Amino acid sequence: MTDDRENGLRLVREMIPAAAADVENGLPDTAFGAALGELSLTNVFGRLWTREGLDRRSRSLVTLGILIALGATEELKIHFAIARQNGLSREELEEVIYHASGYAGFPAANKARMTGSEVLDS
């Protein structure tokens, strides 16, 4: 196991414990696009999220802004939960959406609001 993979697993266990087992097991090698999860684990969580320079809370803010702008609903579901785990309050998450409306547009912000409501109000 590489250091990046180990770091990614550690981070996933801390930030999204409910998904840790699924991440550790991954998809069967024969599944279409099976390597994508491993790439995310090692490159995104193992390398990017563990870099010095920004704390996890700040990385959550940046990530949410990018995902809102992209309209990446499925990823937003995961990252709203990660942001809460990283110390962001519900009010701060709302402010991220309000702020994004000025830069990413109202439709993207409204989509994020609906996604946030689904995650935070359930």
pLDDT in tens, 75-85: 999 999 999 99
87 with 120, same domain: the answer is: yes
pLDDT in tens, 50-66: 999 999 999 999 999 99
Per-residue pLDDT at 34: 82
41 with 69, same domain: the answer is: no
pLDDT in tens, 6-59: 999 999 999 998 887 777 777 677 789 888 888 999 999 999 999 999 999 999
* Residue 58: exposure state from Cβ atoms within 10 A (0-12, 13-18, ≥19): exposed
- pLDDT above 60: residue 1: no
Cβ 82 vs Cβ 41: under 8 Å = no
pLDDT in tens, 88-122: 999 999 999 999 999 999 999 999 999 999 999 98
| Threshold 0.85, pTM exceeds | yes
If one counts the domains in the chain, the total is: 2
46 with 61, same domain: the answer is: no
61 with 37, same domain: the answer is: no
Where residue 63 sits, what CATH number does that domain have? 1.20.1290.10
Q: Which domain holds residue 37?
A: 1-51
121 with 89, same domain: the answer is: yes
75 with 102, same domain: the answer is: yes
96 with 43, same domain: the answer is: no
Per-residue pLDDT at 52: 95
37 with 19, same domain: the answer is: yes
Residue 43 CA to residue 92 CA, distance in Å, equals 27
Cβ 68 vs Cβ 109: under 8 Å = yes
58 with 114, same domain: the answer is: yes
How does DSSP classify residue 33? T
